[in-house]
Structure 1
Amino acid sequence: MSTTPRKPWPYPLRRAMQALPLIVVIAVSNFFWLRLAPGDLADVIAGEAGAATPEYMAELRRQFGTDQPLAIQFAAYLKRLAHFDLGWSFRYNESVVHLILERLPATALLLVSALVIALVIGCAAGTLAAVSRWRALDVAVSVISTLGFATPLFWLGLMLMVLFSAHLHWLPSGGMTTLGAATHGWAYIGDVATHMAMPVFCLAAYYLAIYARLMRASVLEVAGLDFVRTARAKGVSRFRTVLSHVVPNALLPIVTMSALQFGTLLSGSVAIETVFSWPGLGQLALDAVSSRDLNLLLGILFVSSLLVLAVNLLADLAYGWFDPRIEVER
């Protein structure tokens, strides 16, 4: 009796299923790690009020659910996650999902813009540096990338603010839009673009330096492989060889690095959003930490973890596009 073999699930779906245990581990770890921090939202409210009676503190903890045993709180947390419910922010008196969805577009705009700029300019600079090895352009790229790698993001942001906002008055010092300006269409897009110029450049500078150095080393390594020498021996021009053979293969380490560093990029946005008063998830997370709003902080950490896992999945799928020899459908 012959049996027809079952068709395997698509690769993206299999990877998503493999990530489910990791998501559970992340959710459990975040819950218990945050419970190790001293204080809660009731302590913050009492401190802001100046004083509070023990009865008032007990009533606050009863409303917030922090008076229950840790096991019961953990069971309630897992039940909410099973129903895709991230809980309620007692600090903002709003749903955590609503707060995250309200701030997520601003953070996504900042991160995507910075990542695209860092990848495009960094890869182009690294390729040019490798092609002109040990020449003036290579030295210039190496010096600038070293400075970008060593400069603290918050210091660079403050210096940009002092130069372009305080002295030159070219760019706004903070926020996402001009307060009180009822702009629409292209005027609104231009207003947002001027506000995001400094934070995007500041966030992209560090990663641009990393990608430039990595791309230079990767191009030099690929340029010495046999298939590149074969292409040159067949009469293919140097420009076409670099563009068609060297660069696509040299981009594989860049894809890996960008996926691994997306979490670092997301955490770096906290400092940038704080310096430039950018209304994104980073500033919301900082407010949640200072106010001990654990439900909101747990929701932000959980959503951030999902974003990092999604970016790593996209990086795996991108391997097959850059190098057809890699089979992602096996």
Structure 2
Amino acid sequence: MTRFLLRRLGLMLLLLFGVSVLVFFLFALMPGDYFSSNRQLTPQRLAELRALYGLDQPVIVRYVIWLGHALQGDFGYSLVYNRPVTEVIAPLIKNSFLVAFAAFALTWVIAVVTGVLAATRQYSLFDRIVTILLFASLSIPSFFLGLLMIKVFAVDLQWLPTGGMLDTASSSTGIERMGEIARHMVMPVAILTFLGAGSLTRYFRSGMLEQLRSDFVRTARAKGLSERAVVFSHALRNALLPAITLLAFELPGLFSGAIITEQIFNWPGVGRIQLESVQTRDYEVLMTITLLLAALTIVGSFLADILYAVADPRVRLVDQVRGA
């Protein structure tokens, strides 16, 4: 198991290095930059500013310099905000993670429970309702659903705030502040959960249906095991294996969906600043956020490998045979 983890960790670091090279060169070769978008600058002043920030150097030299600083935790300087990139996005990352992890946890809980119940009650009214909701979650645009929720729950019923992270001119602290943030999180988390649970529930439902028809499940029933033990101890464990591979894409997918959601609900996260960076050509910020999403994908893949090896001993056995 130790050899398996070390091998996967080394591959993760190698992938992260390759992604950093690809992302840096792609952004470096994009036409224009922050200074070239300012038409009031003379060609001489534009050349001076590009030389001052090292933008006139070869791409390889710029990457080596950037990599050396990145290994020390310095990901560049935002020309729009006149601050280091880490200072700009650090508080926003915390806010985005707050919504993303809440939606991630709810998505998996709802998908597992709903998928199991729909599979064990195939063609029932509950299964038909779940199927309709699955197609709805895959079809309804997030911006339309967000605006509809604001109209119903914030404007008409006035149960929830229209947006933001805190109430206007709020001075709450402690538990009161946590409750205020939780109220503002309800609609963004609900949308991300609804959109994410749809596809994941479909995987769990189809996986459970396949496992419930397998020979080992029929054998377990023939031995006299209860239906609860057959479903949760035998079928569900095997149905979880294909879904584990989706773990690498779930968390970055939530952040990608949060870009639109944060705009709709005015949530102070990385999604909003990512869109602003595209418009202002603040490539240092945009590149750092892109690398963050890539790192989340790689880390998610690493965690999926570990969970897959824990859930299925055959993976560890094959790895040991190859390493022998």
The TM-score normalised by the length of structure 1 is 0.89
Give per-residue Cα distances to partners, 1:68-95, cap 9 Å, x unaligned. Answer: 3434323322332344431111221222
**What is the CA-CA distance between 1:134 and the residue it aligns to?**
1.0
Give per-residue Cα distances to partners, 1:165-219, cap 9 Å, x unaligned. Answer: 2222211122112232121222111111111111111111121111111111100
Partner in structure 1 of residue 252 of structure 2: 263
Out of 4, 12, 17, which is 1:11 matched to? Answer: 4
Partner in structure 1 of residue 145 of structure 2: 156
Alpha-carbon separation, structure 2, partners of 1:236 and 1:301? 50
The alignment status of 1:217 with 2:210, answered yes or no, reads no
The alignment status of 1:136 with 2:105, answered yes or no, reads no
The alignment status of 1:327 with 2:320, answered yes or no, reads no
Give the letter for the 1:188 counterpart. Answer: R
The alignment status of 1:316 with 2:309, answered yes or no, reads no
SS state at 1:186 partner: helix
**What is the CA-CA distance between 1:325 and the residue it aligns to?**
5.0
Alpha-carbon separation, structure 2, partners of 1:64 and 1:165? 46
Give the letter for the 1:22 counterpart. Answer: L
Out of 26, 30, 34, which is 1:37 matched to? Answer: 30
Deviates more, 1:65-74 or 1:153-162: 65-74
SS state at 1:43 partner: coil
Alpha-carbon separation, structure 2, partners of 1:12 and 1:284? 36
SS state at 2:35 partner: helix
**What is the CA-CA distance between 1:324 and the residue it aligns to?**
4.7
- Which portions of structure 1, spanning 4 or more consecutive aligned residues, are displaced by more than 4 angstroms? none
Alpha-carbon separation, structure 2, partners of 1:19 and 1:90? 31
Give the letter for the 1:327 counterpart. Answer: R
SS state at 1:92 partner: coil
Out of 108, 112, 132, which is 1:123 matched to? Answer: 112
Judge conservation of contact 1:87–1:96 (CA < 8 Å) in 2: yes
**What is the CA-CA distance between 1:10 and the residue it aligns to?**
4.5
Alpha-carbon separation, structure 2, partners of 1:285 and 1:10? 39
Partner in structure 1 of residue 99 of structure 2: 110
Alpha-carbon separation, structure 1, partners of 2:12 and 2:119? 37
**What is the CA-CA distance between 1:139 and the residue it aligns to?**
0.8
SS state at 2:90 partner: helix
The alignment status of 1:189 with 2:178, answered yes or no, reads yes
When residues 184 and 65 of structure 1 are mapped into structure 2, their CA distance, relative to the original with a 3 A threshold, is: same
The alignment status of 1:26 with 2:15, answered yes or no, reads no
Partner in structure 2 of residue 78 of structure 1: 67
**What is the CA-CA distance between 1:14 and the residue it aligns to?**
2.4
Runs of 5+ in structure 1 lacking a partner?
1-7
Partner in structure 1 of residue 57 of structure 2: 68
Judge conservation of contact 2:4–2:316 (CA < 8 Å) in 1: no
Judge conservation of contact 1:15–1:313 (CA < 8 Å) in 2: yes
Alpha-carbon separation, structure 1, partners of 2:30 and 2:266? 26
Judge conservation of contact 1:144–1:209 (CA < 8 Å) in 2: yes
Partner in structure 1 of residue 269 of structure 2: 280
Judge conservation of contact 1:248–1:323 (CA < 8 Å) in 2: no
Alpha-carbon separation, structure 2, partners of 1:294 and 1:233? 63
Q: CA RMSD in A?
A: 2.1
Judge conservation of contact 2:12–2:302 (CA < 8 Å) in 1: no
**What is the CA-CA distance between 1:12 and the residue it aligns to?**
2.9
Out of 213, 220, 228, which is 1:231 matched to? Answer: 220
Runs of 5+ in structure 2 lacking a partner?
none
Give the letter for the 2:17 counterpart. Answer: V
Percent of counterpart pairs with the same letter?
34
Judge conservation of contact 2:248–2:299 (CA < 8 Å) in 1: no
Deviates more, 1:252-261 or 1:107-116: 252-261
Alpha-carbon separation, structure 1, partners of 2:11 and 2:304? 16
Number of residue pairs matched by the alignment: 319
Alpha-carbon separation, structure 1, partners of 2:14 and 2:227? 48
The TM-score normalised by the length of structure 2 is 0.91
Deviates more, 1:142-151 or 1:250-259: 250-259
Alpha-carbon separation, structure 1, partners of 2:148 and 2:33? 36
**What is the CA-CA distance between 1:9 and the residue it aligns to?**
4.8
Judge conservation of contact 1:289–1:297 (CA < 8 Å) in 2: yes
